[in-house]
Chains A and B, each alone.
Chain A
Amino acid sequence: MKTLRVVAPGFLTTVQDLGREGFGPIGVSATGAGDAVSLRAGNRLVGNPQGAAGLEMTLVGGTFEFPGGAVIALAGSEFGATVGGATVPAWTAVEVKAGQVLTLGPTQGGARSYLCVRGGIEVDKLLGSASTHILSGLGGMEGRALKREDVLRIGDAGEAGEGGGFTGRTVAGKPLEKLAARKVLRATEGPQSDWFPEPAQKVFYGSTYRVTEEANRMGLRLEGPAIGEGSHGEMITEGVSLGAVQITAAGLPIILFVEQQTTGGYAKIANVISADLHSVGQLRPRDEIRFEKVDWETARKLFIEQEELLASKELIDG
Protein backbone atom coordinates (compact mmCIF):
# COMPACT_ATOMS: atom_id res chain seq x y z
CA MET A 1 0.00 0.00 0.00
CA LYS A 2 1.24 3.46 -0.89
CA THR A 3 1.70 6.00 1.85
CA LEU A 4 2.42 9.65 2.49
CA ARG A 5 4.78 10.57 5.32
CA VAL A 6 4.53 13.91 7.06
CA VAL A 7 8.04 15.38 7.29
CA ALA A 8 6.65 18.74 8.49
CA PRO A 9 2.94 19.40 8.92
CA GLY A 10 2.78 23.12 8.15
CA PHE A 11 0.69 25.57 10.18
CA LEU A 12 -2.60 23.65 10.21
CA THR A 13 -3.05 20.66 7.94
CA THR A 14 -6.06 18.38 8.23
CA VAL A 15 -7.67 15.55 6.29
CA GLN A 16 -10.84 16.84 4.62
CA ASP A 17 -13.42 15.64 2.15
CA LEU A 18 -16.84 17.15 1.50
CA GLY A 19 -18.00 16.56 5.07
CA ARG A 20 -20.68 14.57 6.85
CA GLU A 21 -24.25 15.66 6.35
CA GLY A 22 -27.25 14.21 8.12
CA PHE A 23 -26.21 14.21 11.76
CA GLY A 24 -27.50 17.65 12.76
CA PRO A 25 -30.02 16.09 15.18
CA ILE A 26 -27.13 14.93 17.41
CA GLY A 27 -25.25 18.21 17.05
CA VAL A 28 -22.64 16.95 14.59
CA SER A 29 -21.32 19.70 12.33
CA ALA A 30 -20.99 18.81 8.64
CA THR A 31 -17.40 20.20 8.55
CA GLY A 32 -15.48 19.38 5.31
CA ALA A 33 -13.10 21.34 3.08
CA GLY A 34 -13.12 25.11 3.56
CA ASP A 35 -12.65 25.54 -0.18
CA ALA A 36 -14.58 22.58 -1.54
CA VAL A 37 -14.31 23.89 -5.11
CA SER A 38 -10.52 23.55 -5.02
CA LEU A 39 -10.63 20.10 -3.42
CA ARG A 40 -13.11 18.90 -6.04
CA ALA A 41 -11.17 20.32 -8.98
CA GLY A 42 -7.93 18.90 -7.58
CA ASN A 43 -9.51 15.47 -7.28
CA ARG A 44 -10.70 15.63 -10.86
CA LEU A 45 -7.14 16.38 -12.01
CA VAL A 46 -5.84 13.13 -10.54
CA GLY A 47 -8.85 11.08 -11.61
CA ASN A 48 -10.46 10.74 -8.17
CA PRO A 49 -14.14 11.09 -7.36
CA GLN A 50 -14.74 14.78 -6.55
CA GLY A 51 -15.36 14.00 -2.89
CA ALA A 52 -12.17 12.00 -2.23
CA ALA A 53 -10.26 13.05 0.88
CA GLY A 54 -7.22 15.27 0.52
CA LEU A 55 -5.05 17.39 2.79
CA GLU A 56 -6.17 20.92 3.57
CA MET A 57 -3.25 23.22 4.33
CA THR A 58 -3.68 26.61 5.94
CA LEU A 59 -1.44 29.68 5.41
CA VAL A 60 1.82 27.66 5.57
CA GLY A 61 2.10 24.32 3.82
CA GLY A 62 3.92 21.21 4.93
CA THR A 63 6.60 18.84 3.65
CA PHE A 64 5.55 15.36 2.59
CA GLU A 65 7.47 12.30 1.47
CA PHE A 66 6.00 9.71 -0.89
CA PRO A 67 7.93 6.46 -0.26
CA GLY A 68 6.11 4.69 -3.09
CA GLY A 69 5.57 7.70 -5.35
CA ALA A 70 2.19 9.16 -6.27
CA VAL A 71 0.30 11.25 -8.76
CA ILE A 72 -0.68 14.49 -7.03
CA ALA A 73 -2.30 17.83 -7.71
CA LEU A 74 -2.27 21.02 -5.66
CA ALA A 75 -5.38 23.16 -5.82
CA GLY A 76 -6.38 26.48 -4.30
CA SER A 77 -3.80 29.12 -3.41
CA GLU A 78 -0.13 28.90 -4.46
CA PHE A 79 2.04 27.83 -1.52
CA GLY A 80 5.36 27.85 -3.45
CA ALA A 81 5.48 24.07 -3.88
CA THR A 82 8.54 22.20 -5.14
CA VAL A 83 9.56 18.58 -5.71
CA GLY A 84 13.29 17.92 -6.07
CA GLY A 85 13.91 21.62 -6.62
CA ALA A 86 11.38 21.92 -9.45
CA THR A 87 8.34 24.14 -9.04
CA VAL A 88 4.99 22.39 -8.79
CA PRO A 89 2.30 24.81 -9.96
CA ALA A 90 -1.22 24.64 -8.57
CA TRP A 91 -4.01 23.17 -10.73
CA THR A 92 -1.73 20.63 -12.43
CA ALA A 93 -1.40 16.87 -11.98
CA VAL A 94 2.22 15.81 -11.53
CA GLU A 95 3.97 12.56 -10.81
CA VAL A 96 6.10 12.32 -7.69
CA LYS A 97 8.63 9.49 -7.90
CA ALA A 98 9.23 6.98 -5.13
CA GLY A 99 11.08 8.61 -2.27
CA GLN A 100 10.64 12.16 -3.53
CA VAL A 101 9.64 14.96 -1.20
CA LEU A 102 7.03 17.65 -1.82
CA THR A 103 7.80 20.90 -0.01
CA LEU A 104 5.36 23.77 0.41
CA GLY A 105 5.97 27.16 1.96
CA PRO A 106 3.89 30.13 3.05
CA THR A 107 0.95 31.13 0.91
CA GLN A 108 1.46 33.53 -1.95
CA GLY A 109 -2.27 34.21 -2.17
CA GLY A 110 -5.25 33.02 -0.16
CA ALA A 111 -5.60 30.98 3.02
CA ARG A 112 -5.80 27.40 1.76
CA SER A 113 -4.13 24.89 -0.52
CA TYR A 114 -5.28 21.31 -1.11
CA LEU A 115 -3.06 18.33 -1.74
CA CYS A 116 -4.99 15.77 -3.75
CA VAL A 117 -3.42 12.36 -4.31
CA ARG A 118 -4.54 9.85 -6.89
CA GLY A 119 -6.41 7.18 -4.91
CA GLY A 120 -7.31 9.66 -2.18
CA ILE A 121 -6.10 9.90 1.42
CA GLU A 122 -7.47 6.99 3.41
CA VAL A 123 -8.46 7.28 7.04
CA ASP A 124 -11.15 5.43 8.98
CA LYS A 125 -14.35 7.20 8.12
CA LEU A 126 -16.60 8.58 10.83
CA LEU A 127 -20.29 8.80 9.89
CA GLY A 128 -19.42 8.36 6.25
CA SER A 129 -16.76 11.05 6.02
CA ALA A 130 -12.99 11.41 6.39
CA SER A 131 -13.27 15.07 7.43
CA THR A 132 -11.65 16.35 10.60
CA HIS A 133 -13.67 18.38 13.11
CA ILE A 134 -10.94 19.97 15.16
CA LEU A 135 -13.06 21.41 17.98
CA SER A 136 -14.52 18.02 18.98
CA GLY A 137 -11.48 16.00 17.92
CA LEU A 138 -13.53 13.80 15.61
CA GLY A 139 -12.82 12.36 12.16
CA GLY A 140 -9.75 12.62 9.95
CA MET A 141 -6.39 11.59 11.44
CA GLU A 142 -7.27 10.86 15.08
CA GLY A 143 -9.47 13.95 15.10
CA ARG A 144 -6.54 16.33 14.93
CA ALA A 145 -4.26 18.32 12.68
CA LEU A 146 -1.37 16.37 11.17
CA LYS A 147 1.95 16.26 12.96
CA ARG A 148 5.49 15.20 12.13
CA GLU A 149 5.98 11.53 11.27
CA ASP A 150 2.29 10.84 10.71
CA VAL A 151 1.97 8.26 7.96
CA LEU A 152 -1.22 8.35 5.92
CA ARG A 153 -2.47 5.62 3.60
CA ILE A 154 -3.08 6.41 -0.03
CA GLY A 155 -6.07 4.65 -1.53
CA ASP A 156 -5.88 2.13 -4.33
CA ALA A 157 -6.67 3.93 -7.56
CA GLY A 158 -7.51 0.73 -9.43
CA GLU A 159 -6.16 -0.46 -12.75
CA ALA A 160 -5.15 2.93 -14.11
CA GLY A 161 -3.31 3.41 -10.82
CA GLU A 162 0.09 4.30 -12.23
CA GLY A 163 -1.31 7.59 -13.39
CA GLY A 164 0.38 7.84 -16.77
CA GLY A 165 -2.78 9.31 -18.24
CA PHE A 166 -3.11 12.00 -15.61
CA THR A 167 0.21 13.80 -15.30
CA GLY A 168 0.21 17.16 -17.01
CA ARG A 169 -3.53 17.65 -16.81
CA THR A 170 -4.53 21.15 -15.76
CA VAL A 171 -7.69 23.03 -14.93
CA ALA A 172 -8.61 25.02 -18.06
CA GLY A 173 -8.16 28.78 -18.06
CA LYS A 174 -11.74 29.89 -18.41
CA PRO A 175 -13.22 27.66 -15.70
CA LEU A 176 -10.35 28.62 -13.41
CA GLU A 177 -11.22 32.27 -13.89
CA LYS A 178 -14.87 31.58 -13.14
CA LEU A 179 -14.01 29.64 -9.99
CA ALA A 180 -11.49 32.20 -8.72
CA ALA A 181 -11.96 33.29 -5.10
CA ARG A 182 -13.79 36.62 -4.73
CA LYS A 183 -13.37 39.45 -2.23
CA VAL A 184 -16.87 40.70 -2.90
CA LEU A 185 -19.06 38.04 -1.33
CA ARG A 186 -22.52 37.72 -2.74
CA ALA A 187 -25.18 37.15 -0.11
CA THR A 188 -28.90 36.57 0.20
CA GLU A 189 -31.10 37.72 3.03
CA GLY A 190 -30.69 35.93 6.33
CA PRO A 191 -33.56 34.62 8.45
CA GLN A 192 -33.56 37.76 10.62
CA SER A 193 -32.86 40.31 7.86
CA ASP A 194 -36.01 42.21 8.78
CA TRP A 195 -34.65 42.82 12.28
CA PHE A 196 -32.19 45.22 10.69
CA PRO A 197 -33.79 48.42 9.33
CA GLU A 198 -32.74 50.19 6.16
CA PRO A 199 -29.89 52.26 7.70
CA ALA A 200 -28.32 49.10 9.16
CA GLN A 201 -28.66 47.31 5.80
CA LYS A 202 -26.97 50.28 4.10
CA VAL A 203 -24.01 50.09 6.46
CA PHE A 204 -23.75 46.32 5.99
CA TYR A 205 -23.84 46.28 2.19
CA GLY A 206 -22.08 49.62 1.75
CA SER A 207 -19.01 49.10 3.94
CA THR A 208 -15.67 47.39 3.61
CA TYR A 209 -14.98 44.86 6.36
CA ARG A 210 -11.64 43.49 7.40
CA VAL A 211 -11.08 39.86 8.42
CA THR A 212 -9.66 39.77 11.96
CA GLU A 213 -7.13 37.32 13.43
CA GLU A 214 -10.12 35.40 14.79
CA ALA A 215 -10.75 33.62 11.52
CA ASN A 216 -10.71 29.86 11.38
CA ARG A 217 -12.73 26.88 10.21
CA MET A 218 -15.50 27.67 12.71
CA GLY A 219 -16.06 31.22 11.65
CA LEU A 220 -14.56 34.53 10.61
CA ARG A 221 -14.96 37.58 12.81
CA LEU A 222 -14.97 40.83 10.83
CA GLU A 223 -14.16 44.38 11.86
CA GLY A 224 -15.45 47.59 10.35
CA PRO A 225 -18.43 49.91 10.79
CA ALA A 226 -20.83 48.61 13.44
CA ILE A 227 -24.34 47.89 12.30
CA GLY A 228 -26.93 49.77 14.32
CA GLU A 229 -29.13 47.45 16.30
CA GLY A 230 -32.68 47.17 15.10
CA SER A 231 -35.74 46.68 17.25
CA HIS A 232 -34.91 43.07 17.96
CA GLY A 233 -37.22 40.54 19.39
CA GLU A 234 -35.75 37.90 21.67
CA MET A 235 -33.54 35.56 19.67
CA ILE A 236 -34.37 31.91 20.35
CA THR A 237 -31.57 29.43 19.62
CA GLU A 238 -32.14 27.76 16.25
CA GLY A 239 -30.32 25.86 13.52
CA VAL A 240 -27.75 27.92 11.65
CA SER A 241 -26.67 27.68 8.02
CA LEU A 242 -23.21 27.46 6.53
CA GLY A 243 -22.18 30.98 5.52
CA ALA A 244 -24.66 32.69 7.83
CA VAL A 245 -23.65 36.25 8.74
CA GLN A 246 -24.40 36.76 12.42
CA ILE A 247 -24.41 40.18 13.99
CA THR A 248 -22.90 40.24 17.48
CA ALA A 249 -24.01 42.44 20.37
CA ALA A 250 -21.28 44.88 19.29
CA GLY A 251 -22.94 45.13 15.87
CA LEU A 252 -20.14 43.36 13.98
CA PRO A 253 -20.49 40.46 11.54
CA ILE A 254 -19.26 36.90 11.98
CA ILE A 255 -19.41 34.53 9.00
CA LEU A 256 -20.17 31.00 10.19
CA PHE A 257 -17.92 28.54 8.42
CA VAL A 258 -17.50 24.81 7.77
CA GLU A 259 -16.76 23.75 11.35
CA GLN A 260 -19.65 25.87 12.60
CA GLN A 261 -21.76 24.96 15.57
CA THR A 262 -25.05 23.45 14.43
CA THR A 263 -27.27 25.89 16.34
CA GLY A 264 -26.82 29.49 17.42
CA GLY A 265 -28.46 32.38 19.20
CA TYR A 266 -27.42 35.48 17.22
CA ALA A 267 -29.55 37.21 14.60
CA LYS A 268 -28.44 36.64 11.01
CA ILE A 269 -28.59 39.62 8.66
CA ALA A 270 -27.46 37.76 5.54
CA ASN A 271 -26.06 34.49 4.22
CA VAL A 272 -23.15 34.08 1.82
CA ILE A 273 -24.43 32.29 -1.29
CA SER A 274 -23.36 28.68 -1.86
CA ALA A 275 -21.41 29.60 -5.00
CA ASP A 276 -19.18 31.94 -2.96
CA LEU A 277 -18.55 29.73 0.09
CA HIS A 278 -15.23 28.54 -1.35
CA SER A 279 -14.14 32.19 -1.51
CA VAL A 280 -14.65 32.44 2.26
CA GLY A 281 -12.25 29.50 2.57
CA GLN A 282 -9.52 31.55 0.91
CA LEU A 283 -9.88 34.63 3.16
CA ARG A 284 -6.95 35.52 5.40
CA PRO A 285 -6.73 37.82 8.40
CA ARG A 286 -6.53 41.49 7.25
CA ASP A 287 -8.20 40.75 3.90
CA GLU A 288 -10.77 43.39 3.02
CA ILE A 289 -14.14 42.24 1.81
CA ARG A 290 -17.57 43.57 0.93
CA PHE A 291 -21.00 42.03 0.71
CA GLU A 292 -23.20 42.31 -2.36
CA LYS A 293 -26.87 41.48 -2.10
CA VAL A 294 -28.39 39.06 -4.62
CA ASP A 295 -31.89 37.59 -4.85
CA TRP A 296 -32.80 33.94 -4.30
CA GLU A 297 -33.10 33.15 -7.97
CA THR A 298 -29.63 34.49 -8.77
CA ALA A 299 -28.11 32.60 -5.84
CA ARG A 300 -29.57 29.32 -7.03
CA LYS A 301 -28.62 29.95 -10.65
CA LEU A 302 -24.99 30.67 -9.71
CA PHE A 303 -24.86 27.54 -7.56
CA ILE A 304 -26.23 25.29 -10.31
CA GLU A 305 -23.80 26.82 -12.84
CA GLN A 306 -20.90 26.16 -10.48
CA GLU A 307 -21.99 22.57 -9.89
CA GLU A 308 -22.27 21.98 -13.64
CA LEU A 309 -18.87 23.50 -14.27
CA LEU A 310 -17.22 21.31 -11.63
CA ALA A 311 -18.70 18.20 -13.22
CA SER A 312 -18.02 19.27 -16.81
CA LYS A 313 -15.46 17.97 -19.30
CA GLU A 314 -14.45 21.56 -20.01
CA LEU A 315 -13.01 21.90 -16.51
CA ILE A 316 -9.95 19.83 -17.38
CA ASP A 317 -7.36 20.36 -20.13
CA GLY A 318 -5.44 17.32 -21.22
Chain B
Amino acid sequence: MGYTFAVMSGEMGASARFVKASDQTLLVYMKESISPAASERVRKLLRLLELEPIAGIRNLHPGYRSVLVKFDAVRMGHEELEKVLQSYLVRVEDVTLPEARLVEVPVCYGGEYGPDLEEVAALHGMMAAEVIHLHTSVEYLVYFLGFVPGFAYLGELPKELVTPRLTTPRRKVPVGSVGIAGNQTGVYPFATPGGWRLLGRTPLEMFRADREGLSLLEIGARVRFTAIDAERFAELKRG
Protein backbone atom coordinates (compact mmCIF):
# COMPACT_ATOMS: atom_id res chain seq x y z
CA MET B 1 0.00 0.00 0.00
CA GLY B 2 2.70 2.49 0.95
CA TYR B 3 4.41 3.52 -2.25
CA THR B 4 8.12 2.84 -2.05
CA PHE B 5 11.08 3.41 -4.25
CA ALA B 6 14.63 2.22 -3.72
CA VAL B 7 17.74 4.00 -4.87
CA MET B 8 20.82 1.84 -5.17
CA SER B 9 24.20 3.28 -5.91
CA GLY B 10 26.48 0.34 -6.48
CA GLU B 11 29.33 -0.11 -4.06
CA MET B 12 28.15 2.59 -1.65
CA GLY B 13 24.95 0.66 -0.96
CA ALA B 14 23.32 4.08 -0.62
CA SER B 15 19.76 2.85 -0.59
CA ALA B 16 16.83 4.79 0.73
CA ARG B 17 13.14 4.10 0.81
CA PHE B 18 10.51 6.73 0.00
CA VAL B 19 7.05 6.62 1.56
CA LYS B 20 4.38 9.22 0.95
CA ALA B 21 3.28 10.44 4.37
CA SER B 22 0.71 13.07 3.35
CA ASP B 23 -0.12 15.10 0.25
CA GLN B 24 2.63 17.54 1.23
CA THR B 25 5.17 15.30 2.95
CA LEU B 26 7.52 12.51 1.95
CA LEU B 27 9.32 10.20 4.37
CA VAL B 28 12.85 9.21 3.40
CA TYR B 29 14.00 6.13 5.30
CA MET B 30 17.79 6.02 5.31
CA LYS B 31 18.00 2.66 7.13
CA GLU B 32 15.52 0.16 8.48
CA SER B 33 16.55 0.27 12.13
CA ILE B 34 18.05 2.55 14.78
CA SER B 35 21.84 2.75 14.85
CA PRO B 36 24.56 5.39 15.00
CA ALA B 37 25.19 4.64 11.31
CA ALA B 38 21.55 5.32 10.44
CA SER B 39 21.73 8.56 12.39
CA GLU B 40 24.88 9.57 10.54
CA ARG B 41 23.15 9.09 7.19
CA VAL B 42 20.20 11.17 8.42
CA ARG B 43 22.60 13.94 9.45
CA LYS B 44 24.44 13.77 6.17
CA LEU B 45 21.26 14.15 4.16
CA LEU B 46 20.19 17.08 6.36
CA ARG B 47 23.60 18.69 5.93
CA LEU B 48 23.47 18.30 2.16
CA LEU B 49 19.98 19.81 2.04
CA GLU B 50 21.23 22.68 4.18
CA LEU B 51 24.23 23.32 1.90
CA GLU B 52 22.25 22.94 -1.32
CA PRO B 53 18.61 23.74 -0.49
CA ILE B 54 15.94 22.44 -2.86
CA ALA B 55 13.45 25.12 -3.89
CA GLY B 56 10.00 24.07 -2.73
CA ILE B 57 11.10 22.19 0.39
CA ARG B 58 9.44 23.89 3.35
CA ASN B 59 10.58 21.89 6.35
CA LEU B 60 12.57 18.86 7.48
CA HIS B 61 11.80 16.58 10.42
CA PRO B 62 14.63 14.18 11.16
CA GLY B 63 13.99 11.03 13.18
CA TYR B 64 16.16 8.09 14.30
CA ARG B 65 16.60 6.73 10.79
CA SER B 66 14.39 8.91 8.60
CA VAL B 67 13.78 12.43 7.40
CA LEU B 68 10.26 13.71 6.83
CA VAL B 69 10.37 16.28 4.02
CA LYS B 70 7.57 18.83 3.82
CA PHE B 71 7.19 20.44 0.41
CA ASP B 72 5.06 22.95 -1.42
CA ALA B 73 2.50 20.72 -3.12
CA VAL B 74 1.47 23.45 -5.54
CA ARG B 75 5.00 23.57 -6.86
CA MET B 76 5.84 19.87 -6.97
CA GLY B 77 4.46 16.38 -6.49
CA HIS B 78 5.99 13.43 -4.62
CA GLU B 79 7.54 11.96 -7.76
CA GLU B 80 9.31 15.19 -8.74
CA LEU B 81 10.69 15.57 -5.25
CA GLU B 82 11.84 11.94 -5.21
CA LYS B 83 13.73 12.49 -8.43
CA VAL B 84 15.59 15.50 -7.04
CA LEU B 85 16.28 13.71 -3.76
CA GLN B 86 17.75 10.74 -5.58
CA SER B 87 20.49 13.00 -6.93
CA TYR B 88 21.22 13.99 -3.34
CA LEU B 89 21.09 10.47 -1.93
CA VAL B 90 23.81 9.17 -4.23
CA ARG B 91 26.13 11.85 -2.79
CA VAL B 92 25.20 11.41 0.86
CA GLU B 93 28.18 9.21 1.72
CA ASP B 94 30.60 11.91 0.52
CA VAL B 95 29.23 14.57 2.87
CA THR B 96 31.61 15.72 5.60
CA LEU B 97 29.82 16.46 8.84
CA PRO B 98 31.02 19.31 11.04
CA GLU B 99 32.89 18.09 14.09
CA ALA B 100 30.44 17.17 16.84
CA ARG B 101 30.36 19.50 19.83
CA LEU B 102 30.59 17.97 23.29
CA VAL B 103 28.14 19.65 25.66
CA GLU B 104 28.32 19.13 29.40
CA VAL B 105 24.95 19.16 31.10
CA PRO B 106 25.07 19.51 34.89
CA VAL B 107 22.31 17.64 36.74
CA CYS B 108 21.15 17.70 40.33
CA TYR B 109 20.01 14.10 40.81
CA GLY B 110 17.30 12.76 43.12
CA GLY B 111 15.15 14.46 45.75
CA GLU B 112 12.49 16.82 44.46
CA TYR B 113 14.44 17.23 41.22
CA GLY B 114 14.54 13.53 40.42
CA PRO B 115 11.35 12.02 41.87
CA ASP B 116 11.82 8.67 40.07
CA LEU B 117 15.48 8.09 40.94
CA GLU B 118 14.79 5.79 43.90
CA GLU B 119 12.20 3.78 41.99
CA VAL B 120 14.51 3.33 39.00
CA ALA B 121 17.24 2.16 41.36
CA ALA B 122 14.84 -0.28 43.02
CA LEU B 123 13.65 -1.63 39.65
CA HIS B 124 17.23 -2.52 38.77
CA GLY B 125 18.19 -3.67 42.28
CA MET B 126 20.87 -1.04 42.70
CA MET B 127 21.60 2.00 44.86
CA ALA B 128 20.62 5.50 43.65
CA ALA B 129 24.33 6.38 43.53
CA GLU B 130 24.90 3.58 41.02
CA VAL B 131 22.15 4.93 38.78
CA ILE B 132 23.79 8.37 38.89
CA HIS B 133 27.18 6.84 38.23
CA LEU B 134 25.87 4.93 35.21
CA HIS B 135 23.91 7.87 33.81
CA THR B 136 27.00 10.11 33.96
CA SER B 137 29.41 7.40 32.74
CA VAL B 138 28.87 7.64 28.99
CA GLU B 139 28.76 10.17 26.20
CA TYR B 140 25.39 10.37 24.46
CA LEU B 141 24.62 11.16 20.84
CA VAL B 142 21.86 13.61 19.93
CA TYR B 143 19.96 11.41 17.47
CA PHE B 144 17.49 14.17 16.61
CA LEU B 145 15.35 16.87 18.18
CA GLY B 146 11.61 16.46 18.30
CA PHE B 147 8.50 16.48 20.47
CA VAL B 148 8.90 20.15 21.50
CA PRO B 149 11.50 22.84 20.65
CA GLY B 150 14.93 21.82 21.89
CA PHE B 151 14.02 18.31 23.10
CA ALA B 152 16.97 16.08 22.17
CA TYR B 153 16.60 12.30 21.90
CA LEU B 154 19.86 11.05 23.45
CA GLY B 155 21.20 7.54 23.18
CA GLU B 156 22.09 5.11 24.22
CA LEU B 157 21.70 4.50 27.92
CA PRO B 158 24.01 1.95 29.53
CA LYS B 159 22.19 -1.42 29.25
CA GLU B 160 21.79 -1.68 33.02
CA LEU B 161 19.64 1.47 33.01
CA VAL B 162 17.17 0.56 30.26
CA THR B 163 13.76 1.22 31.88
CA PRO B 164 10.21 1.31 30.50
CA ARG B 165 8.45 4.66 30.54
CA LEU B 166 5.79 5.43 33.18
CA THR B 167 2.46 3.70 32.55
CA THR B 168 0.64 6.97 33.24
CA PRO B 169 2.47 10.06 31.97
CA ARG B 170 2.70 13.11 34.24
CA ARG B 171 0.46 16.00 33.26
CA LYS B 172 3.27 18.45 33.82
CA VAL B 173 6.99 17.75 33.97
CA PRO B 174 9.05 20.64 35.42
CA VAL B 175 11.36 22.54 33.04
CA GLY B 176 14.87 21.08 32.92
CA SER B 177 13.86 17.62 34.14
CA VAL B 178 16.22 14.86 33.02
CA GLY B 179 14.40 11.64 32.20
CA ILE B 180 14.96 8.16 30.83
CA ALA B 181 12.69 5.92 28.74
CA GLY B 182 13.69 2.66 27.09
CA ASN B 183 17.32 3.10 26.08
CA GLN B 184 16.97 6.87 25.62
CA THR B 185 17.53 9.84 27.87
CA GLY B 186 16.61 13.49 27.46
CA VAL B 187 15.96 16.86 29.06
CA TYR B 188 12.53 18.54 29.06
CA PRO B 189 13.04 22.11 27.73
CA PHE B 190 9.51 23.19 28.71
CA ALA B 191 6.94 22.24 31.32
CA THR B 192 5.01 19.72 29.24
CA PRO B 193 3.23 16.44 29.82
CA GLY B 194 5.70 13.56 29.80
CA GLY B 195 6.06 9.85 30.51
CA TRP B 196 9.82 9.55 31.00
CA ARG B 197 11.16 8.63 34.44
CA LEU B 198 12.81 11.64 36.05
CA LEU B 199 16.27 11.20 37.56
CA GLY B 200 17.20 14.83 38.13
CA ARG B 201 17.09 18.37 36.83
CA THR B 202 19.49 20.69 35.03
CA PRO B 203 19.68 24.44 35.62
CA LEU B 204 20.59 24.99 31.94
CA GLU B 205 18.06 26.46 29.56
CA MET B 206 17.69 23.95 26.74
CA PHE B 207 15.85 26.35 24.43
CA ARG B 208 15.97 30.12 24.42
CA ALA B 209 14.25 32.24 21.82
CA ASP B 210 16.81 35.06 22.26
CA ARG B 211 19.93 32.94 21.80
CA GLU B 212 21.91 32.23 18.64
CA GLY B 213 20.93 28.75 17.49
CA LEU B 214 18.04 28.78 20.00
CA SER B 215 18.49 25.17 21.07
CA LEU B 216 21.37 24.29 23.40
CA LEU B 217 21.78 20.99 21.55
CA GLU B 218 21.78 20.21 17.87
CA ILE B 219 21.49 16.96 15.96
CA GLY B 220 24.81 15.10 16.05
CA ALA B 221 26.12 16.83 19.19
CA ARG B 222 27.50 14.71 22.05
CA VAL B 223 26.30 15.11 25.61
CA ARG B 224 27.78 14.20 28.94
CA PHE B 225 25.84 14.60 32.18
CA THR B 226 27.70 15.59 35.35
CA ALA B 227 26.32 15.41 38.87
CA ILE B 228 26.00 18.63 40.88
CA ASP B 229 24.49 19.36 44.28
CA ALA B 230 21.50 21.58 45.06
CA GLU B 231 23.72 24.51 46.00
CA ARG B 232 25.55 24.47 42.67
CA PHE B 233 22.19 24.04 40.93
CA ALA B 234 20.92 27.22 42.57
CA GLU B 235 24.14 29.06 41.67
CA LEU B 236 23.95 28.07 38.01
CA LYS B 237 20.24 28.85 37.90
CA ARG B 238 20.98 32.38 39.05
CA GLY B 239 23.50 32.61 36.22
Interface residues of chain A, those whose CB is within 8 Å of chain B, are 21-30, 126-127, 133, 135-138, 188-194, 236-244, 261-264, 268, 271, 273-274, 296, 299-300, 303-304, 307
Contacts and interface: CB of A to CB of B under 8 A. Distances in A.
A26 B147 CA distance: 10
A27 B149 contact: yes
B22 A274 contact: yes
A234 to B, nearest CB: 9
A206 B215 CA distance: 44
A126 B1 CA distance: 40
A126 B209 contact: yes
A240 B24 CA distance: 11
B98 interface: no
Contact of A239 (B66, B78, B150): B66
Top 7 closest pairs, chain A to chain B, by CB = A239-B68, A239-B61, A263-B146, A238-B63, A271-B22, A194-B1, A299-B23
Given A136-B148, A137-B190, A296 B60 contact: no
B2 interface: yes
Contact of B1 (A22, A30, A193, A307): A193
B26 to A, nearest CB: 10
B33 A236 contact: yes
A287 to B, nearest CB: 22
A268 B21 contact: yes
B74 interface: yes
A26 B218 contact: yes
A191 B29 CA distance: 11
7 contacts: A25-B62, A26-B145, A135-B148, A188-B23, A191-B2, A239-B60, A273-B22
B192 interface: yes
Interface residues of B, number: 47
User: Which of B34, B151, B189, B218 lies at the interface centre, i.e. has the most chain A CB atoms within 10 A of its CB?
Assistant: B151
Contact of B34 (A21, A135, A194, A236): A236
B2 A138 contact: no
Given A236-B65, A241-B22, A261-B148, 8 more contacts: A26-B145, A27-B151, A30-B59, A191-B19, A238-B61, A261-B147, A274-B24, A296-B78
B64 A236 contact: yes
